[in-house]
Amino acid sequence: MTFTAIRSALLHCLRDPGLAGDASAIEYLPDAITVMRDGRVHAVGAADALLPTLGADVRMDDQRGRMLAPGFVDTHVHYPQVDVIASYGTQLLDWLNRYTFPAELAFAERAHADVAANFFLDRVLENGTTTAAVFCTVHPQSVDAFFTASEARGLGMIAGKCLMDRHAPEGLTDTADTGYRDSKALIERWHGHARSRYAITPRFAPTSTLPQMQAMGRLAREHPDVYIQSHVAENRAEIAWVNELFPGHRSYLDVYDHYGLLRDRAIYAHCIHLDDADRARMTAAGATPSFCPTSNLFIGSGLYNLQQALAAGNAVSVGTDIGGGTSYSMLRTLGEAYKVQQLLGTSLSPAYALYLATLGGARALSLDDEIGSIMPGKFADFALLDPAATPLLARRTTLRDDPLDTFFALMTLGDDRAIAATYASGRCVHRRAMP
């Protein structure tokens, strides 16, 4: 059944609440109506005010007892790594060679990519995520498979084909020339098609030759409104390798900058081992870091210092980084982000955590006029949270009548079970089966 309105509690950010969590930046409506039309939010407000204005033809999804939030935004994830998750015993460079590259080779086959893309999107939607910046493999058909599947579900996804012309197995490399041409053709096919957007996707500096770095810079110049996504400063051995491969640069980040890959709409995963000059340069260039806590812990990469990044003005967002990351759930990812910051002596407030996964993610992707909060005119992309999803959550969340405390309990204890439903472009695209 297609609903035209949802009745529920509602929680979202009106603006950036800051790391300490200014509660006035958060709006909470205990009994709200959200009216959808043509895939977008048509009206939203308190039920007692809105109900009398609704026509008899409104089909209401009555979800009282649950909390509607903007669909989550995952700013760094790899769909071809669905089978890489939970791979034992390695750090980044070994992990790539032992687990990741072999898994990505299979995406030369379109049928394999179709199955993986659909499996991936099922997991994403059951976790309440409606927008993500997604790495595909080097194969252009892996991008076609992904966008075909995401558009069929009404999603607004960002994705791109990896470019790598060295230090990867045969079958997983392109060249400076084919990488450029294939990316250009994919931009023409997908960027701005339905809600899809394209990202030029250098895997990371070590897998591109200097001519390929130049070709990607040219592509970026020719397409100023296209995204760029890559990895930087994740792991110490990786950084040492970049210093050998690209001598004469001030830093790893400077390599991307030198080739014109640091700009607005450029998302760099990890950014753990940046220095003050790098962080300042990120802000000046308009590039943004994606903090991937479950991956950083699992691959043993390090502790991302959120406070330092925010002090430098970086527009930080959060990514699951499947399959280095260990959960598709943005709630779980926020829970781990909290723990990483605790180890650094900082408390990540629930308000700021909510912001990171919604409006902050949207802002990092320059999509905050379309998604990230529940406002008339924005897309009707929502995650419906269930504060009583498990006996433990039910017991814990009834203790205090405070929506941000409830959200904190959800990000600490919740996962896909806490997502009662997910809506994309005004359609219910996932509903949790009742246990």
Using CB under 5 A, list all residues that contact Zn ion: 269, 321
Q: Which residue, 126 or 321, is less far from ligand GUN as judged by CB? A: 321
Residue of 61, 321, 381, 386 that binds ligand GUN (CB under 6 A): 321
Regarding 381 and contact with ligand GUN (CB under 6 A), the answer is no
User: Residue 52 is encoded by which pair of tokens?
Assistant: 């009398």
Number of other CB atoms surrounding residue 117 within 10 Å: 27
**Strand, helix or coil for residue 9:** strand
For the chain, helix, strand, coil in percent to 5 are 40, 20, 35
Interface mask toward ligand GUN for 213-252; x: CB under 6 A: ------------------x--x------------------
100 touches which of Zn ion, ligand GUN, none (CB within 5 to 8 A by kind)?
ligand GUN
Q: Which residue, 92 or 385, is less far from ligand GUN as judged by CB? A: 92
Give me the residue label for tokens 């598709």.
328
Angle between helices 350-357 and 403-413 (to 10 degrees): 70
Which residue number places its CB atom closest to Zn ion?
321
Residue of 120, 190, 198, 204 that binds ligand GUN (CB under 6 A): 204
**Strand, helix or coil for residue 47:** helix
Q: Are 272 and 234 in contact (CB under 8 A)?
A: yes
- The span of 60-68, 92-100, 377-385, 407-415 binding ligand GUN (CB under 6 A) equals 92-100
> At closest approach, how far in Å is the CB of 319 from Zn ion?
7
Interface mask toward ligand GUN for 279-318; x: CB under 6 A: ----------------x-----------------------
Which residue number places its CB atom closest to ligand GUN?
324
Regarding 324 and contact with ligand GUN (CB under 6 A), the answer is yes
How many CA atoms, within 13 angstroms, populate the side-chain half-sphere of residue 338?
22
User: Residue 411 is encoded by which pair of tokens?
Assistant: 């990000």
- Residues 6+ away with beta carbon under 8 Å from 163: 138, 174, 179, 183, 200, 201, 202, 203, 208, 212, 216
Distance CA 178, CA 223 (A): 17
Q: Which residue, 100 or 373, is less far from ligand GUN as judged by CB? A: 100
What are the C-alpha distances in Å from 134 to residues 46, 74, 225, 323, 389? 36, 9, 17, 12, 29
User: Residue 197 is encoded by which pair of tokens?
Assistant: 């957007």
Q: Which residue, 203 or 396, is less far from ligand GUN as judged by CB? A: 203
Amino acid at 94: D
Please, which residues bridge with residue 384 across strands?
Answer: 68, 421
279 touches which of Zn ion, ligand GUN, none (CB within 5 to 8 A by kind)?
none
Q: Which residue, 165 or 321, is less far from Zn ion as judged by CB? A: 321
Interacting residues toward ligand GUN by CB under 6 A: 78, 92, 96, 100, 203-204, 231, 234, 295, 321, 324
